[in-house]
Structure 1
Amino acid sequence: MTPDLIDISPDVADALSSGRPVVALESTIITHGMPAPQNVETARAVEDEVRAAGAVPATIAILDGRAKVGLDAAALDRLGAAEGVVKASGRDLGAVIAKGLSAGTTVSATMRLAHLAGIGIFATGGVGGVHRGAEVTMDISADLMELATTPVSVVCAGVKSILDISRTLEVLETNRVPVIANGTEEFPAFFSRQSGIAADHRLDGAEEIARAIAAHHAFGSGTGLLIANPIPADDEIPAAEIAATIDEALKAAESRGISRKEVTPFLLSAINEATSGRSLTANIALVRNNARLAAEIAVAAAR
């Protein structure tokens, strides 16, 4: 750990020192993933899900050039309302800190900071991956490289359905990252429970997943694990229904020349508008569902 760069909140530090379960949470959901006031409301609800399952939440962000592991209520409110907050992946941490900026941390940055703080379980909505058309644009999320090099387990609802799911899974396989689906034979597709693509491994519930994580790390592979947790059935938008909406959003992004870090926030906003808010409701439900599972896994791992 680098204590000169990272501030760990007292409750998170106490839990880590006493061996109690901790779950890392990202902050781009607050700064770039959802509109106000749902962004801060969801962040608080996700933390409550973690606490209710018996673990300590550690929301991670950069504030005024300081990496923060564990945010208080005032910090959450500040992130939710602040203008000019940047979106930081793992590669951006040094520059953002040098400039004294504030940033929401993506999956890759959150994984890196969680690992440095000693946190091994992380809950998010969906991870980044290989974008459609990447054979031309080379747009591949740093999240995949972080999973290949940082031993943190990421609980998500699959990769975002705006991505090329099949190619994303191929990259993870190449980089030796285990992909485990919770309670299903099929890899989930964020808004939808099914993607049409078989999962590499099915495990059922937190206890079995915790054992797999422990065994994976015992072999010293050095990689993270992707735990794919399907959105609850009552909250999903079936793949056939959402597909046309995603295609239209992708066309709109291309016609406006939107690329790189701006793509995902634009697409999620466009899809939410096109679905009259249904996709935002689904997004909130799946994030809370992932936080519950992540906390259950952290509790099982601590035992």
Structure 2
Amino acid sequence: MSCKWWLIILNELRVSVSDEVRNALEEGTPILGLESNVLSHGLPFPKNVELQSACDEAIRSRGVVPAITFIDRGKLCLGATEADLERLTTANNVDKVTSRDIAVQLVRGSLGATSVSASLAICELAGVPIFASAGLGGVHRDYATTMDMSGDLYEIARRRVIVVSAGVKKFLDIPKTVEVLETLNIPAVGFHTSEFPAFYCKSSGVKLGARFDRLADLAKAARNHIELDLGSGFLALVSPSDEIALDHELVESAVQQALARAHAENVRGKDITKYVMRFIDEKTNMRSRDANFEVMVEVVSRGGGISGGTFKGEGKVVWERR
């Protein structure tokens, strides 16, 4: 009886996929996993709709199917319909869900936008090997007193998923974040960059151990790591282009002011990220918000290139489903 009960629970917790994603999984069409939190909590309406459209176009141009992760009506979901996207981009009561919140969110039954950590869990469960997101969570600058470190790092460590990203946001402690990645055995490899990128800033001052200048080489290295089951995910880092990148000193000045203001107003924990980002937006006359948009499109385009495995003038990486 207990065994049958457990099997029923497992069946109920399977990932619910859209028709398009189901067809892609069955036919072996490349898929790129995406978070939904950036649509519900990252950018305001209608900028979030514009972002979704731009990302969708960039991914599909690579011959890849975009698969947004979210939670709805007690189900883990992969692949959003037009109706799903409308709710994720316009509803005011969408919950932010990290990996630690998944179990509770499934019982609540309400609409949940998945962060990086929750998205990685859904991608691995569904058999999607590649995920892209502009900015990851990391170690906060005041870690010694707050012990504040994002669960994103642990999820990358435990999920066999290739993660394509522009690094972590400037207000985090990048040197400590890189140290944690090394401790967790996560390869952090740059594409056209020898420095760990700081989201919409090219320079962080923290050197990477490896870089590739051909997307095909980066894709092969990522595939090697996953197929050899070396015990963690793989982090591919994309630096923002010169046309998009913001000045390091401008952003750092805004970060210092934002963190000081947040401390004075007792803003802590999960509220600090949104607070600081909004402050930086104001101090940069919304240039940081525009850069956020453009960086996301660049990152998913690279992610689509790795997922699709075809690179102009560089041959093809063959991806096989086992």
The TM-score bracket by the shorter chain reads: over 0.9
Provide, for residues 166-197 of structure 1, a one-character-per-residue CA deviation record: whole Å limited to 9, x for no partner: 00000010000000100111221111111111
- What is the deviation of 1:252? 1.9
Matching of residues 208-287 of structure 1 within 5 Å: 208-287=217-296
1:236 maps to a residue whose letter is A
Larger radius of gyration: 2
Give the total of aligned pairs: 302
| Runs of at least 5 residues in structure 1 that lack an aligned partner in the other structure | none
Structure 1 stretch displaced more, 33-42 or 286-295: 33-42
Matching of residues 120-139 of structure 1 within 5 Å: 120-139=129-148
| Runs of at least 5 residues in structure 2 that lack an aligned partner in the other structure | 1-9, 310-316
2:11, 2:181 → 1: CA distance?
31
Partner of 1:52: 61
**1:19·1:302 contact (CA, 8 Å) conserved in 2?**
no
Partner of 1:116: 125
Q: 1:85 aligns with which of 86, 91, 94?
A: 94
Partner of 2:16: 7
Q: Normalising by structure 2, report the TM-score.
A: 0.91
**2:35·2:116 contact (CA, 8 Å) conserved in 1?**
yes
Partner of 1:174: 183
Provide, for residues 22-81 of structure 1, a one-character-per-residue CA deviation record: whole Å limited to 9, x for no partner: 000101101111111111221221121110111000011112332210001221111111
* Secondary structure at 2:198 match in 1: coil
- What is the deviation of 1:302? 4.6
* Secondary structure at 1:226 match in 2: strand
Provide, for residues 87-145 of structure 1, a one-character-per-residue CA deviation record: whole Å limited to 9, x for no partner: 11101000011111211111100000011111111110110000110111000000000
- What is the deviation of 1:20? 1.3
- What is the deviation of 1:287? 0.3
Change in Cα spacing, 1:3 to 1:213, as seen in structure 2 (3 Å) is farther
1:35, 1:98 → 2: CA distance?
28
- What is the deviation of 1:3? 5.4
Partner of 1:207: 216
2:250 maps to a residue whose letter is E
1:34, 1:267 → 2: CA distance?
14
> Does residue 140 of structure 1 match 2:140?
no
Q: Normalising by structure 1, report the TM-score.
A: 0.96
**1:21·1:302 contact (CA, 8 Å) conserved in 2?**
no
Q: 1:190 aligns with which of 180, 187, 199?
A: 199
- What is the deviation of 1:202? 0.3
State the identity %. Answer: 35
**Structure 1 runs of 4+ off > 3 angstroms?**
none
2:85, 2:276 → 1: CA distance?
24
Structure of greater relative contact order (alpha carbons < 8 Å, 6+ residues apart): 1
- What is the deviation of 1:218? 2.9
CA RMSD of superposed structures (Å): 1.3
- What is the deviation of 1:222? 2.7
2:75, 2:269 → 1: CA distance?
25
